[in-house]
A = this chain, B = another copy of it.
């Protein structure tokens, strides 16, 4: 797949200042209504964790969100935990104004060299072609927030989510298309952002704020198409905490990532 630098690459880039020390900037260009998207912030950390690692694909990323991020400079301190024959594991601390905002672990592999068994017990979402689907960012009624995330990501759905029409359905699940608006194909680091890029489906239960406590991303393959299908589902809300499971598939029907997060309502 031909692929040039994307807006996302530029806005998640890190600069190596010393061994295990990086500087980066959390831009205001990937904002939700509550501030910088958590997956975007985590992906900046993954770019730093990937530096110097022999394997390109973050197959398992665990991010614990400690404080709300803000647009502005961020410092990332990394530690190589283990570098093995098949996998390498790195840790990152992300700090703003000296306070840690995210602690993360990532295990990397080379998915291009992984040759084991494949068996899919589930199927890709069945969505009509994205070109014919509703532009969900444009579908938001007057008065809804217009976060900058919607200027960078093209969201398309066969239907408009109930919560976005002001009529939460009570069913916290959704399937949609998304792509980076600049038309580039996401790399496996960008997937750690894209699994978190669509609004929380828990909004179908009536809430409008959800804060991630922990996000796990399992990258399963490299995408080969710019358009990706996302399947989101929240299953259990207990004492204010909720899960959200996300699957991302490329347009060729390849599962590229699975993610789960634990988040707090309100």
Interface string of A230-254 (1 = CB under 8 A from B): 0000111111110100000000000
User: Is the pair A89, B66 in contact by a Cβ cutoff of 8 Å?
Assistant: yes
Say yes or no: A266-B116 contact (C-beta < 8 A), given A121-B236, A218-B214.
yes
Which residues of B lie under 8 Å from residue A66 when comparing CB positions?
81-82, 84, 89
Q: In the complex, what distance in Å separates the CA atom of A237 from the CA atom of B218?
A: 12
Which residues of B lie under 8 Å from residue A228 when comparing CB positions?
none
Interface membership of A119, Cβ < 8 A: yes
Taking residues whose C-beta sits less than 8 angstroms from the other chain, chain A's interface range is 35 or more
Interface string of A75-108 (1 = CB under 8 A from B): 0000001101001010101000000100101010
**Residues 114-156 (chain A) with a chain B CB within 8 angstroms:** 114-122
Choose, from A9-17, A175-183, A190-198, A256-264, the stretch at the interface: A256-264
Say yes or no: A121-B172 contact (C-beta < 8 A), given A103-B91, A116-B240.
yes
The residue in A172, A207, A241 that gathers the most chain B C-beta atoms within 10 A of its C-beta is A241
Interface membership of A48, Cβ < 8 A: no
Interface membership of A37, Cβ < 8 A: no
Which residues of B lie under 8 Å from residue A237 when comparing CB positions?
116-120
Choose, from A24-32, A56-64, A157-165, the stretch at the interface: A56-64
Contact of A105 among B105, B121, B218, B265 (CB under 8 A): B105
Interface membership of A50, Cβ < 8 A: no
Q: In the complex, what distance in Å separates the CA atom of A118 from the CA atom of B117?
A: 39
User: Is the pair A238, B221 in contact by a Cβ cutoff of 8 Å?
Assistant: yes
Say yes or no: A105-B62 contact (C-beta < 8 A), given A87-B213, A119-B205, A218-B214.
yes
Interface membership of A255, Cβ < 8 A: yes
Interface membership of A220, Cβ < 8 A: yes
Q: In the complex, what distance in Å separates the CA atom of A166 from the CA atom of B186?
A: 43
User: Is the pair B64, A64 in contact by a Cβ cutoff of 8 Å?
Assistant: no
Interface membership of A184, Cβ < 8 A: no
Which residues of B lie under 8 Å from residue A241 when comparing CB positions?
59, 114, 116, 218, 220
Enumerate chain A interface residues (CB-CB to B < 8 A).
59-60, 62, 64, 66-67, 81-82, 84, 87, 89, 91, 93, 100, 103, 105, 107, 111, 114-122, 171-172, 205, 207, 213-214, 216, 218, 220-221, 234-241, 243, 255, 258, 260, 262, 264-266
